């Protein structure tokens, strides 16, 4: 999501005539787009901003700006402004679309701008992002979040749910397909609740069904489906849409009912497992991936074992695992019994090992099979092209000409840990 936001900031700069430069020393404007969802991202941001001090000293006209969800927290914005006096512009998430005007203001007045606003509920439709990940493209279908999971800062820094009008989303998807993009990922904190704030009958299922009518060969993905809201209607829409990857990202966060309740996730382990069953009944070979937090306040070894057993039961195709980090202002950060750092570390290592082993074994099942891969990039280190199958599994293969953006059939000959190695047997498109 943040990467796509950076593409929009780059788009704003591009529209003003700026061009991308390869070396930071050559830049006239440097923008740090920050994330505060987890603490380590925040620390990285502080470290990176600090590193630019020297450059700014030797190049006083350089404009340094910091934006994103970290700076949406007023106290953090003030902290950045006072820690880094060389930063010229500090803005939050809700006036990011005004970055161009703020840059003009800075250049004209030479004055420092520290402006963090509250949401006015508006959605900006007139930014053309400078896309950097061809053949993949991200498309926001909504912004904000209403869920207030107790550990999460997103609702505080991104405001309430705001859905884009379906016609705008559909136009963007159509244009991307016409321009050769081959994989479109629809973005929202809870894509299932898309349209609920629009009162025009739009829903996530409607959106998927409309995208099904768009001609051309491309893949459709979504991020994220909140388990409390995923419905049979949505899963059937995915099943019936030939563009939609048979892959669902369904973040569980924990396998323990006690933790799920404290996290305010609004589903139980049992309900989650029923949803997995429902998905697999409708789409038998559907890949399911997830997000998991370990070390949430009061998490015992038994709670953690509930997560382990759920991971084993579901047999995920992939899991993003996170050590819980307290975020100021959230309900969980005020909970007394925080889990010690070494316990959290031990648990995440056990979980990562478990999932890696599952992915390794799963990869072996591919050997001898031919899978359709969308070629995403050329990996210089491996001297091979890389791409993913519909389920999201990564594959590497050599080829004599540029394949980026093409669908190819690859026969898998061996595995490299979790990834697949193979030979191109057919270039499809």
Cβ proximity to ligand SAH: between 1 and 62 the closer is 1
Cis peptide before 224 (omega within 30 of 0): yes
Question: Binding to ligand SF4 (CB under 6 A): which residues in 208-267?
Answer: 226
143 binds ligand SAH (CB under 6 A): no
Q: How far apart are CA 220 and CA 249, in angstroms?
A: 13
272 binds ligand SAH (CB under 6 A): no
Residue 291 binds what, of ligand SAH, ligand SF4, none (CB under 5 to 8 Å, by partner type)? ligand SAH
Residue 148 binds what, of ligand SAH, ligand SF4, none (CB under 5 to 8 Å, by partner type)? ligand SF4
Question: Binding to ligand SAH (CB under 6 A): which residues in 287-306?
Answer: 291, 293
CA dihedral 173, 176, 181, 183 (to 10 degrees): -20
Contacts of 81 (CB under 8 A, 6+ apart): 87, 90, 112, 114
226 binds ligand SAH (CB under 6 A): yes
Contacts of 179 (CB under 8 A, 6+ apart): none
397 binds ligand SAH (CB under 6 A): no
322 binds ligand SAH (CB under 6 A): yes
Q: How far apart are CA 132 and CA 1, in angstroms?
A: 13
Of the candidates 138, 157, 51, 42, which has an alpha carbon nearest to the alpha carbon of residue 94?
A: 157
Q: How far apart are CA 32 and CA 190, in angstroms?
A: 26
Which residue among 34, 71, 72, 190 contacts ligand SF4 (CB under 6 A)? 190
Of the candidates 118, 52, 113, 123, which has an alpha carbon nearest to the alpha carbon of residue 88?
A: 113
Which residue among 33, 71, 147, 325 contacts ligand SF4 (CB under 6 A)? 147
Q: Which residue do the tokens 């519909």 mark? A: 390
Site string for ligand SAH, 49-88 (x = CB under 6 A): ----------------------------------------
Sign for the pseudo-dihedral over CA of 124, 125, 128, 130: positive
Residue 322 binds what, of ligand SF4, ligand SAH, none (CB under 5 to 8 Å, by partner type)? ligand SAH
Q: How far apart are CA 236 and CA 218, in angstroms?
A: 19
Q: How far apart are CA 312 and CA 78, in angstroms?
A: 45
Contacts of 88 (CB under 8 A, 6+ apart): 63, 64, 65, 106, 112, 113
320 binds ligand SF4 (CB under 6 A): no
Which residue among 116, 145, 169, 293 contacts ligand SF4 (CB under 6 A)? 145
To the nearest whole angstrom, how small is the minimum distance from the Cβ of residue 408 to ligand SF4? 35
Cβ proximity to ligand SF4: between 11 and 155 the closer is 155
248 binds ligand SAH (CB under 6 A): no
Question: Binding to ligand SAH (CB under 6 A): which residues in 149-178?
Answer: 151-152
Residue 324 binds what, of ligand SF4, ligand SAH, none (CB under 5 to 8 Å, by partner type)? ligand SAH
34 binds ligand SF4 (CB under 6 A): no
Please tell me the count of residues contacting ligand SAH according to CB under 6 A: 16
Enumerate binding residues for ligand SF4 (CB under 6 A).
145, 147-149, 152, 154-155, 189-190, 226
């Amino acid at each position: 999501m943040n990467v796509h936001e950076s593409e929009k900031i780059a788009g704003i700069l591009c529209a003003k005539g700026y061009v991308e430069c390869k070396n930071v020393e050559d830049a006239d404007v440097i923008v740090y787009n920050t994330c505060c969802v987890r603490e380590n991202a925040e620390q990285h941001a502080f470290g990176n901003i600090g590193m630019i001090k020297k450059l700014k000293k030797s190049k006083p006209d350089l404009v340094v700006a910091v934006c994103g969800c970290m700076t949406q927290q007023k106290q953090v914005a003030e902290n950045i402004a006072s820690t880094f006096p060389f930063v010229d512009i500090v803005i939050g998430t809700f006036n990011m679309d005004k970055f161009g005007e703020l840059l003009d203001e800075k250049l004209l007045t030479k004055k420092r701008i520290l402006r963090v606003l509250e949401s006015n509920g508006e959605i900006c439709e007139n930014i053309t992002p400078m896309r950097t990940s061809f053949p993949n493209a991200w498309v926001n279908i909504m912004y904000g979040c209403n869920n207030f999971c107790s550990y999460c800062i997103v609702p505080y820094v991104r405001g309430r749910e705001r859905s884009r009008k379906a016609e705008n989303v559909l136009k963007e998807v159509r244009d991307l397909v016409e321009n050769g993009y081959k994989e479109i990922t629809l973005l929202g904190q809870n894509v299932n609740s898309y349209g609920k704030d629009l009162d025009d009958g739009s829903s996530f299922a409607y959106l998927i069904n409309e995208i099904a009518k768009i001609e051309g060969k491309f893949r459709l993905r979504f991020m994220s489906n909140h388990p409390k809201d995923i419905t049979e209607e949505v899963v059937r829409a995915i099943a019936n849409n030939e563009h939609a990857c048979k892959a669902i990202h369904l973040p569980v966060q924990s396998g323990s009912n006690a933790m799920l309740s404290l996290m305010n996730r609004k589903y139980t382990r049992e309900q989650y497992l029923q949803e997995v069953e429902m998905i697999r009944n409708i789409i038998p070979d559907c890949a399911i991936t997830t997000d998991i937090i370990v070390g949430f306040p009061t998490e015992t070894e038994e709670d953690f074992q509930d997560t382990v057993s759920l991971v084993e039961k579901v047999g995920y195709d992939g899991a993003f695992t996170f050590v819980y980090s307290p975020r100021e202002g959230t309900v969980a950060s005020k909970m007394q019994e925080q889990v010690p750092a070494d316990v959290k570390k031990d648990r995440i290592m056990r979980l990562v090992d478990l999932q890696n082993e599952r992915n390794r074994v799963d990869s072996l099942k591919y050997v001898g099979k031919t899978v359709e891969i969308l070629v995403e990039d050329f990996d210089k280190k491996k001297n091979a092209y890389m791409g993913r199958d519909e389920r999201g599994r990564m594959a590497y293969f050599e080829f004599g000409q540029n394949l980026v953006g093409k669908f190819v059939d690859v026969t898998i000959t061996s595995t490299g840990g979790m990834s697949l190695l193979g030979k191109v047997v057919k270039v499809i498109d």
